[in-house]
Amino acid sequence: MRWPNELEVLLHAIRLAGKEAVRLAVAGFETIQKADRSPVTSADLAVNQILHAHLQSAFPTDGWLSEESPDGLDRLQKTRVWVVDPIDGTKAFIKREPEFCISVALIEDGRPIVAAIFNPSVDELYTATRGGGLYLNAKPITPPAFHNVRPPIVAMSEWERDNGRFSCLEGMVTSRPMRSIAWGLALTASGHIQGLVTLEPENEWDVAAGALLIEEGGGQIHDGGGRPFAFNQTTPRYQGTIATSATCPDALRQNLILLTRARGRMGE
């Protein structure tokens, strides 16, 4: 396996961070509103500090991009950058719903090479290294060659679903509420669900780790316009994310492709 040291340090750091998130969920935490009106908690900041301390200490020449850290554009000059979402699904964390996770990816030359998504509420840690396969709690997992879920399950935001954005999927899928895009990508990668779709803006830290999990699980992922993701960009933001698992039926995959074409025609 390549990058064994990076993976070992990441696993240690993310489990420590997850333990602290669970502790604060029980003990209590502060919540404030960011400039964009989204919530951030003292747990987000504590997890960010733990990850930064361990990863930057072990790999001081790597860059850093996190939702809860100021964006230092010196990362653009770095070959390797850690892309971090300390708690993806902060609203779920606030409500004590087991749908939040910690998402971390190491990017090299624009591509994720090491990734981990950890849901400490259910003690499920998904990891991958490029070319090394997909793992759950250190055990290799292979999505089944076929699935028997009828209809297939697709994670989507209730807002987008209720506004008819995905009307082409009606009657074809069961929608799963998406509290955390990173956790939805982990479930898609492992074949627990068959896809994820949003055409709303997303950030690199939402997608980077999940993108590698999807690829190593045999699935497919691209932005809302059908383009492959490239990470550590000047503006670390994309318009939409569409992912399918290895178990996704061809008909559903084709309908999701049609969404990207429709979006392109509307010039969104």
pLDDT digits (tens, 9 = 90+) for 185-226: 999 999 999 999 999 999 999 999 999 999 999 999 999 999
pLDDT at 91 exceeding the cut of 60: yes
Residues 195 and 136 placed together within one structural domain of the fold: no
* 50 part of a folded domain: yes
Which domain, by its residues, includes 32?
4-140
Mean pLDDT value across residues 140-148? 67
What pLDDT shows up at residue 1? Answer: 66
As for how many domains the chain has, the answer is 2
Percent of residues, the chain, with pLDDT higher than 90: 81
Q: What tokens were used for 217?
A: 């699980």
Cβ atoms of 223 and 257 closer than 8 Å: no
Give the bridge partners for 254, in sequence order: none
42 domain-assigned: yes
Same-domain status, 74 and 166: no
Asked, for residue 189, whether it belongs to a domain, the answer is yes
User: What is the reported pLDDT for 35?
Assistant: 86
Q: Which range (57-61, 156-160, 185-189) has the least confidence? A: 156-160
Residue 158 and residue 93 in one domain: no
- The kind and range of the H/E element at 33 are strand 31-33
- Global pTM reads 0.94
**59 and 21, same structural domain?**
yes
The whole-number average pLDDT for the span 212-241 is 95
Which of 114, 140, 166 is the endpoint of a domain?
A: 140
Conformation bin of residue 227: beta by default, left when phi > 0, alpha when psi is -120 to 50: beta
| pLDDT at residue 265, rounded to an integer | 47
pLDDT of residue 168: 85
- Assess whether 134 and 198 both reside in one domain: no
| The pLDDT value given to residue 55 | 98
Q: Quick one: 167 and 60 in the same domain?
A: no
Name all contacts of 7-11 with Cβ < 8 Å and 24+ positions apart: 7/114, 7/116, 7/127, 7/129, 9/54, 9/55, 9/58, 9/59, 10/55, 10/104, 10/106, 10/114, 10/116, 10/127, 11/116, 11/125, 11/127
Residue 145 maps to a domain? no
Instruction: Judge whether 20 lies within some domain.
Output: yes
Give the helix ranges, DSSP H, for the chain.
4-27, 42-58, 90-94, 158-162, 181-189, 204-216, 250-266
Same domain assignment for residues 234 and 135? no
Q: What average pLDDT score do residues 230-251 get? A: 94
Pair (157, 258) in one structural domain: yes
Q: Is residue 146 situated within a structural domain?
A: no
| In the predicted structure, residue 267 carries a pLDDT above the cut 60 | no
Could you say which of 92, 118, 140 is where a domain stops?
A: 140
Single-letter amino acid code for the residue at 6: E
